[in-house]
Amino acid sequence: MKKVTIIDYGMSNLLSISRAIEKLGTEVIVTADADEIAIADQLILPGVGSFYEGMGELVKRNIPEAIHKFISTGKPFLGICLGMQMMLGEGTEVNQTKGLDIIPGKVLPLPEKNKEGIPNKIPHIGWSSVNYNSQKSSSILENFKNSFYMYFVHSYYALPDLSIHSAAVTDFNDMTFTCIINKDNAWGTQFHPEKSGEQGLELLKSFINL
């Protein structure tokens, strides 16, 4: 039976994502050990907090190299919230910080005001509609109709360099941002599937079944 490995680098709610995976009948391994991460069956990088601190904690534990080694095997990888953001090349929170560079792009702050100058409510918290840009076979979106709702909590958003890496988008007042990124076997979600009820569990199940 496949096991899902969740990366522990001191900046995530490991209990909620672990329980969600276990609810799907899949064994969970939680580890900060780079050697274990590199040889996982399936790998999840969760996260809550700043890009700068998150990357610092990953580097401190020699995890970035292990993640790249894992992804090179072609096995499924999923980044969640901050974990998704760190998949990109650069973050701008606190300081300009090099990311994992799995997918080229930047992480930018949500705009403080809309196009009419009216202040936006930041962080973006709550349920928002997810609309996919494309649907492929062997996709975590395979069993979803466009559109569906997921739970978000964030102040920054991902901006991939190439539109092909934007698998789905969502609206924040009068702007639209990428909420699912994808390149080959690597996926990332800005929302929290583990906090998104049955729809979130369905997405995690799709990931496990890749």
Q: 81 an active-site residue? A: yes
Catalytic choice (124, 154, 165, 192)? 192
Catalytic residue among 65, 81, 154, 165: 81
179 is catalytic: no
3-state SS assignment for residue 164: helix
Tell me which DSSP letter residue 119 carries: B
Is 124 an annotated catalytic residue? no
Under DSSP, the state recorded for 39 is: T
| Cα separation values, 79 from 5, 115, 174, 209, Å | 12, 30, 26, 16
22, 27, 194, 198: the catalytic one is: 194
Distance, C-alpha 102 to centroid of its chain:
12
CA distance 200 to 173: 23
> Distances from the Cα of 140 to the Cαs of 32, 63, 168, 198, in angstroms?
25, 25, 11, 15
Collapsing DSSP to helix, strand or coil, 65 comes out as: helix
* Catalytic residue positions, numbered: 81, 192, 194
